[in-house]
């Protein structure tokens, strides 16, 4: 006997692909500008399937934030952590941020968190906490790498790891802002060596 409860219509979409499509819609149109019709068309599913798999629009939006924070937003961090030389690592972090902000296949520019999510913090329940957590976790990962360089003797013992991590993150957001305005990626990269020196300079206040 076939258990009817275990039999259902097979999914005609991959969850990851559907989330990526929804993310691009929110990114391009903003939370308020993205209609359910826009979302279902991009995700290639109907309304009932969307609600069954992802919940309502607000829940779907928060799922796309998690997806971005866990995957796409990590590209600069991966570049930073994968480079042995700390100066090259800082430059790789910023170069990856520029590339990601300017070379999106979907045509959107900048960073999903800064260009879309930040505008809904305080408006959509739960978004502010997710945004703050993404920033804090990024700061920690950057600072941990600086701490490692201190233990290796590459950076001085008084190097302000967390403060420089925050500076790096803020410089990244500046690159994203420029990218969103249409600034040339190659031109932005000409300043990376100089900016790396600023990030890695000794802490004069503690000398």
pLDDT in tens, 36-45: 999 999 999 9
What's the pTM? Answer: 0.77
Identify any residues that bridge with 125 across adjacent strands, giving them in sequence order.
none
Judged against a pLDDT cut of 50, whether residue 61 lies above it is answered with yes
Per-residue confidence band for 11, with pLDDT thresholds at 50, 70 and 90: low
Query: 105 pLDDT band (50/70/90 cuts)?
Result: low
Query: CB count, 10 Å around CB of 98?
Result: 24
Does residue 5 carry a pLDDT above 70? Answer: no
Indicate the pLDDT class of residue 72, thresholds 50, 70 and 90.
low
Degrees (nearest 5) of the Cα angle 47, 50, 51? Answer: 90
pLDDT of residue 8: 41
Residue 4 has pLDDT above 50, yes or no: no
The stretch 87-115 carries a mean pLDDT of: 81
Sorted by where each starts, the structural domains of the chain and their CATH numbers stand as: 15-67 (1.10.10.60), 71-200 (1.10.357.10)
Sign of CA dihedral 179, 168, 132, 104: positive
Question: What is the pLDDT, as a whole number, of residue 122?
Answer: 86
d(CA 157, CA 160): 9
Question: CA dist 103 to 64, 93, 163, 188, 189, Å?
Answer: 20, 15, 29, 14, 14
* CA dist 84 → 68, 81, 168, 171 (Å): 26, 8, 17, 21
Residue 205: the pLDDT is 65
């Amino acid at each position: 006997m076939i258990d009817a409860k275990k039999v259902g219509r097979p999914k005609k979409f991959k969850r990851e692909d559907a989330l990526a499509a929804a993310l691009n819609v929110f990114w391009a149109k903003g939370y308020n500008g993205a209609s359910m019709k826009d979302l279902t068309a991009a995700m290639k599913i109907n309304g009932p399937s969307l609600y069954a798999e992802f919940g309502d629009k607000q829940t779907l939006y928060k799922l796309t934030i998690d997806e971005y924070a866990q995957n796409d937003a990590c590209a600069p961090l991966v570049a930073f952590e994968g480079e042995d030389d700390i100066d090259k690592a800082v430059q790789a972090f910023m170069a990856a941020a520029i590339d990601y902000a300017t070379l999106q296949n979907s045509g959107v520019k900048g960073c999903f968190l800064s260009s879309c999510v930040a505008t809904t913090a305080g408006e959509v329940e739960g978004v502010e906490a997710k945004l703050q957590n993404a920033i804090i976790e990024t700061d920690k990962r950057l600072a941990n790498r600086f701490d490692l360089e201190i233990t290796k003797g590459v950076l001085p013992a008084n190097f302000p790891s967390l403060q420089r991590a925050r500076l790096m993150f803020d410089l990244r957001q500046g690159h994203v802002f420029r990218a969103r305005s249409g600034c040339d990626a190659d031109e932005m990269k000409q300043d990376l060596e100089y900016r790396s020196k600023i990030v890695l300079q000794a802490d004069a206040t503690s000398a």
